[in-house]
Chain A
Amino acid sequence: MRTKKHRDVHHLSPGLNVLFNIIAGGFALLCVFPFIFVIIISLTSEASLNKNGYAFWPEEWSFAAYEYIFKAGDQLLRSYGVTIMITIVGTLISLIVIALYAYAISRKNFTYRNFFSFIAFFTMLFNGGLVPTYMVVTQVLHLKDTVWALILPLIMNAFYVLILRTFYNTTVPDAIIESAKIDGAGELRAFFTIVLPISLPGIATIGLFATLGFWNDWFNALLYIDNPALVPLQSMLMRIENSMQFLLSNAQLSSSGQSLELLRTLPQEATRMALVVLATVPIACAYPFFQRYFVQGLTIGAVKE
């Protein structure tokens, strides 16, 4: 019933619809293609990779890469656990903090809105740099080797705050809030009962970004985590990737006798691709969850009813 109505609303001519489908579908294909390639390489035997390089239809298929990873076993599962945990907890905290902050600075009757907008914006450009940040996190906040070192540094993000502020400004007319307040609701209640439902697509967007941010983060783990039980998935992946690059591109090391011994211990190409697959598939599956909130129809009228 509902979808039918939307079709009416947009009323796209069939020709244009086909064209749009071709553009969007074509581009999507272009985007998916390397990923499929990654999957294929992860399933290629190391011998054929060495011999032929990347191929769409490898000479020899192999599950060796996945076997290798799962044999190493518990580290992978633990890393999955850490990643999922910090992603969920982090996103929730992050959404609350950001949504509140953005709402306050979106309200015209907040005297200090420009001040707090500026405070947020300024951090997008200027930062203290690596070492001072490290100092604060480890010696002022004492977060080293705790799971909070993976969560807190990513909680707030001025970019998201400013996007969300714009969402509030454009989708929520002041008039509704005012009328709600006349009905006796405070700012907080107006926020939860009116603003949040209307700006759900915006919140979902920020939620998605925050989720991806937590899921993909590896740098905080690099800096603050030594305990293998707290190493998230991407960090594990990046560690391997970085070490590979380091050993291969370090002139002095690679020309010496030692490098061989070292390269031997590194995972092969197929294994690295398999790790990419394992790190990406779960989060790509989470994507449709956020898409649910990109529904048209959450209009002001709907809220008023």
Chain B
Amino acid sequence: MTTEDIPRLSGEWMTPRRRFISALFGGRVDKIPAMTLSSVATLEGMEIADADFPEAHLDAEKMARLAATAHENLGLDTVMPVFHSQLEADALDADTWWGEKDNWPATKGHVLDDPDSFKIPPDYLERRSFKAVLGAIKLLRKRYPDVGIVGKVYGPWSVGFHLVGIENWLMGTITEPDKIRRYLEVLLPASMMSAHAQFEAGADAVMWADHANRELCSPETYRDFLLEMHQGVTEEMGGPSILHCCGETTDRIDYFAEAGWDCFHFESQVDPVKAKEIVRDRMSLFGNINNPTILFSGTYDDTYKACMEVLEAGIQGVAPEGSVPLGVKMEVLQALSDSARDYSNANRPDGRLVTFNPTK
């Protein structure tokens, strides 16, 4: 057999999992991945999977089935079973309202007012929220060995919102900064344990959410309270890391890159071209299709067009900006994988690897 006889790879030859991981590190891909990084659970998906909210939050089997719709029905390269933001907070005794079929869960009351009284319960990782999520990740790993599995962790900043109350927390950054730092210190191990457990269960990457966006605080607040801590997190997380921070973050993306995240999942308020200019090749960018205007109120064509625009900016993967509204239609979400496929087909000059837009 000569070299000429070896069949050439062309078109889509990577598994979704391999494609996702490669893109996460800014590597070679046969196709740009289209993903879910927060939730793409929808009312329609619940019908298909026969797995409704709120049961799907606490039942591993239902959670896994609902998460799988992302790949099975939408053709996305990843699945993501943590549809809510309560995983750690609930296991830390927050007062959780598990929501309804057509609404998400949330924390109703605040339980912590002294960092030094905080303790991680000995059975933390065995509590109901973890049982469901870790169980679902294991099921998904078994059922989808070739699909990317994304876990989700709320970092100490965002768990603090739940346990201490968001206003107490934000005001505390000015009135009692040492107390907030102490909270961050004592809450951090809970988030780290969550990340490690999700990796162990089979997640390929963990998305770490700490909401320090412009709608909530200044870039200096991120720098002074979180940057150094996040540098430690990215070193010790034990696997590929994706930072999620909602809202407008252009003025702090540079800090995010400095923190060592492998990838940043960003929202539609951020211009992808500008974001790319700031981060260059220090981390990958996944995002940022708008939820209310495009996915919820728009059509398949609107979404397809929005995806093409963000792909043109040269980012490494396309995904909704955050948890998609539950009323979004599957047909509209289908535009994510269709656009990634079409963009890749048009940018695969050697038939093998996608060329990213040169503006990147």
Q: Is the pairing of A and B real? A: no
A→B interface (CB under 8 Å): none
B→A interface (CB under 8 Å): none
